Amino acid sequence: MQGKVAIVTGGAQGIGQLITQRLLEKGCSVAIWEQNQEALTSITTAFEKLGHVLAVSCDVSQPQSIEKAFQKTVDAFGRIDILINNAAIFDSKPLQDWSYEDWNHGLMVNLSGPFWCSKVCAPYLQASQGIIINLCSTRAFQSEAGSFAYSASKGGIFALTHSLAISLGPDIRVNCISPGWIDVTAYQHEKKAEKLSKADHEQHPAGRVGNPDDIANMILFLSDPANSFITGQNFTVDGGMSRKMIYV
């Protein structure tokens, strides 16, 4: 990973924060594209000792913001090897409480954002024989009530991943990861960690709730050139929950 340049959208909080940290520890330079300015400043300062990290203010729901972030990244590093489309928002409420704006905003951030990030970065990724990793979700394949835009957008990410893989291969490999229950509360800006119960952990066939390192480890696996035969795939990392039949 030494000398490579990675972009992590939403890389200052939650799963993205651990992805950023692990990539820096492996020798990558990392551009964090993040909308929350306080989180961006805090994490960039904290991670400077790990390597070359670039703070880039970016709203992935806006193409112009993405294009500015891309230009700032290229000006700083001159290359792009890895794009991690991680930034996303989640909203859940009864159907009749959804507005058209709510629906569109969810799709713009979670689906249109990754598409546009991939589009603007593709020429540099082609030049470096790079990779794109999209963060999908088990909610692309199963749902909790009320999570309409999130589930629909993550289903779109699953399809977008294989579409990009076929369209951009062999120069760029594209895969996605579908996390299950990942406890990110300790990595959210200005939020306290939740206390998980014994039952929370024991309901998982793996025996525990997931943590962001579980996803970061899969990112590192897919980023390894030794795994260059893998593209167009989705990897579910959920402690086995999506394979569990539950009867009440």
Instruction: Indicate which residues carry an active-site annotation.
Output: 150
Please give the Cα distance from 147 to 88 (Å, whole number): 13
Strand partners, 90: none
Q: Which two tokens mark 32? A: 């964090």
Q: Which two tokens mark 216? A: 């970061």
CB-based contacts of 48, cutoff 8 Å, min separation 6: none
Number of H helices, E strands in the chain: 8, 7
| DSSP designation for 210 | B
Helix axes 148-168, 100-107, angle to 10 degrees: 30
